[in-house]
């Protein structure tokens, strides 16, 4: 990454000048070089983070205005910084993949989600579903396991994992996954209710998670949910007036 290389080059330059030019003892020269490296890396990272934050904020505004294509173009600009800082490209790829997924462009979403960051649990969930739809249960399970290892306390992620396992006929594994999730999420009520439903052979009530659940496109919103969304949109219009 460029910021690491630049910081290292500055540190090496300062250390060399002190040691060879001013005959400073090697220990002090190395110490000074280390300070320069940390300071340079910190400053460069701050500058870069501000630029990336501005790009993400612009993309968010485009999404809120329902201009998804423009949001993707904004995020593509951010990829120009991929060589400057670790994990930048994977973060942006996750965001782009999620946008394509929500648009139901699953083929394009899959290509971006594969390059995404593992700490974005929603993106990882979408990637796992893509594997499920491609009849690749091993890859699906591997992706979910990576996601829950990094985001242990997200109830919806455990529910999503179990829902998909149950969907491919692995009912007992789905129950075991929910039991694991219950321990990790401080006995989340919705998770506990869905675990009981699985044990009794009933349908998991995923609609309780609202829009967060429906973004995965595994179930269609019920009429009640649609009415609630329309009601919320109506209230927003009244507030604007």
**Domain-by-domain residue ranges, the chain?**
143-241
Full-prediction pTM beyond 0.85? no
Q: How confident is the model at residue 237 (pLDDT cuts 50, 70, 90)?
A: very low
Q: What contacts 93, CB < 8 A, 6 or more positions away?
A: 112, 113, 115, 116, 117
Q: How many CB atoms lie within 10 A of CB 6?
A: 15
- Please report, rounded to a whole number, the percentage of residues in the chain having pLDDT higher than 90: 71
Q: How confident is the model at residue 238 (pLDDT cuts 50, 70, 90)?
A: very low
Residue 60 Cα distances to 15, 53, 56, 145, 167, angstroms: 43, 10, 6, 29, 33
User: Would the pLDDT of 8 be above 90?
Assistant: no
Give tens-digit pLDDT for 105-138: 999 999 999 999 999 999 999 999 999 999 999 9
């Amino acid at each position: 990454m460029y910021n690491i290389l630049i910081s290292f080059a500055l540190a090496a330059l300062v250390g060399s000048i002190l040691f060879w030019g001013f005959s400073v003892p090697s220990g002090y020269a190395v110490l000074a070089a280390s300070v320069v490296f940390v300071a340079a890396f910190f400053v460069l990272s701050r500058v870069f983070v501000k630029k990336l934050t501005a790009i993400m904020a612009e993309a968010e505004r485009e999404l809120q205005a329902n201009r998804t294509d423009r949001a993707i173009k904004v995020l593509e600009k951010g990829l120009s910084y991929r060589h400057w800082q670790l994990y930048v490209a994977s973060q942006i790829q996750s965001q782009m993949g999620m946008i394509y997924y929500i648009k139901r462009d699953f083929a394009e979403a899959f290509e971006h989600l594969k390059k995404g960051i593992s700490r974005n649990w929603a993106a990882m969930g979408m990637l796992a579903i893509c594997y499920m739809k491609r009849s690749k249960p091993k890859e699906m399970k591997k992706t979910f396991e990576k996601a829950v290892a990094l985001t242990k306390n997200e109830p919806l992620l455990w529910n999503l994992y179990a829902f998909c396992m149950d969907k491919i006929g692995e009912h007992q594994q789905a129950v075991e996954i929910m039991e694991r999730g219950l321990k990790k999420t401080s006995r989340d009520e919705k998770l506990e209710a869905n675990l009981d439903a699985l044990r009794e052979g009933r349908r998991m009530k995923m609609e309780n998670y609202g829009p967060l659940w429906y973004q995965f496109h595994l179930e269609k919103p019920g009429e009640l949910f649609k009415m609630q969304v329309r009601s919320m949109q109506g209230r927003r219009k009244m507030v604007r007036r």
